[in-house]
Chains A and B, each alone.
Chain A
Amino acid sequence: MGYAWIGAAAVVVGELIFGTFAFLWPRKKQGKGEKIFIAGKINDFKIGEVIYFRKEKTLIQRAEGGFLAFSAICPHLACIVNWNEMLKKYECPCHGATFNRNGEVLEGPPPRPLDLYKLQIVEEKLVVDTATLIERKKFEPSQVIKI
């Protein structure tokens, strides 16, 4: 009989704790369509140019033979990296990390190069899919999306 009471009390307390966490667990956000955006036409970009898209947190770079779409979110602790046009490298303001133009770590704490977003060129337009994040160990020329 004693065990029954303890068991019942445990169930009630467990339900309260679970119920509280379940209540506070965030809802999933709707609207996956917003994750794809068109960055512009191929000819809008000069060779070597890097353009930052603030809302999408994406850096589009026109490399020698094609394009790279970087996530601007630093792989260390999620600050936003900036392109330094003078020194030709990406810099993170939070912990001083720098990346070369291919996104590889030059100095600082990040565990991997800048992540890429899936990029497609459709009818001369750059279509970036920010839902598909590509983590990589190092830069390879095949990562550049050819024109």
Chain B
Amino acid sequence: MIKSLLRRVSDSSVWRSIFRTGIPDTDLKRSMLIFNNFFLHIFPAKMKRHGLRFSYTFCLGGISCLLFIILTVTGILLMFLYTPSIERAYFDMQALALVLNGKILRNLHRWAAHGMVITVFLHMVRVFYTRSYRPPREFNWVIGILLLILTLALSYTGYLLPWDQLAYWGITVGTTIMAYTPFIGKHIRYFLLGADEVGHEALLRFYVLHCVVLPFSTALLMAIHFWRVRKDGGISGPL
């Protein structure tokens, strides 16, 4: 009864328009199921046995990606309750405590951000110690370094948004360090802050960078990073 019902559903034209493969009862159909699904095609249909061993990769790249997804979801939710203006930012941040789940969302965002910096760094360490940066993967190493820089930039721009004492002086100190760059330092600081000191312009600039420019750049580079892992012959071999 149930079996025939399931078969009728899976043979219907609506179902077949979404899942083209049908019931995966052969190896060919099983691999076609993976290829034909947008979300699963990121995973290889076949992979080397050692690549599945936890102690080889420690899942660090995957954890970083998961944390990025958590940060995107919680970040978008937080954007609904936040105003990037110096009059309101701090109070909007405090008012999160009055909203159901507000504090847990903010803390998820905060701790996932700390975690992502750590896992991205550890991922880099793992890749280094397994010598996975060598040809043919040398360009993917470069993309990885850009992703590390973007992760740090995301972390730093997000640091200003609560607009508390820690944020204000953290950004003052950080951008003054940038001003020590030879010749163009003062201009870099002026361009980044939009003024001579940390104020409304800086908050708005950091907000746009944090919520739009940097996440988009990171997502694009992540897509290239994952695509190249596959194109460079899957996960690197054991030592």
Contacts and interface: CB of A to CB of B under 8 A. Distances in A.
B172 A77 contact: yes
B191 A79 contact: no
Interface stretch (A24-32, A42-50, A116-124, A137-145): A24-32
A25 B177 contact: no
A78 B172 contact: yes
A78 B193 CA distance: 14
Contact of B173 (A21, A24, A26, A79): A79
B172 A24 contact: no
A34 to B, nearest CB: 13
Interface string A11-48: 00000000001001110010000000000000000000
Given A26-B190, A26-B201, A94-B169, A77 B195 contact: no
A21 B190 CA distance: 13
A94 B165 CA distance: 11
A25 B191 contact: yes
Contact of B195 (A26, A78, A79): A26
B172 A26 contact: no
B177 A77 contact: yes
Contacts of B177: 77
Contacts of B75: none
A24 B169 CA distance: 24
Which residue among B169, B177, B197 has the maximum number of chain A CB atoms within 10 Å of its CB? B169
Contacts of B190: 26
Contacts of B194: 26
A94 B173 CA distance: 8
Contacts of A79: 169, 172-173
B176 interface: yes
Contacts of B201: 26
Nearest to A26: B194
A78 B173 contact: yes
Given A26-B201, A94-B169, A77 B191 contact: no
A46 B169 CA distance: 32
Interface in A51-86: 77-79
Contacts of B197: 78
Contacts of B169: 79, 94
A73 to B, nearest CB: 9
A77 B174 CA distance: 8
Contact of A77 (B173, B193, B196): B173
A24 B195 contact: no
Interface in B156-213: 169, 172-173, 176-177, 190-191, 193-197, 201
Interface in A89-115: 94
A77 to B, nearest CB: 4
A111 to B, nearest CB: 10
Contacts of B176: 77-78
A106 B193 CA distance: 31
Contacts of B191: 21, 24-26
Nearest to A21: B191
Contacts of A29: 195-196
Contacts of A24: 191
Closest 5 CB pairs of A and B: A77-B176, A78-B176, A26-B194, A77-B173, A78-B172
Interface of B: 169, 172-173, 176-177, 190-191, 193-197, 201
13 contacts: A21-B191, A24-B191, A26-B190, A26-B191, A26-B195, A29-B196, A77-B172, A77-B173, A78-B197, A79-B169, A79-B172, A79-B173, A94-B169
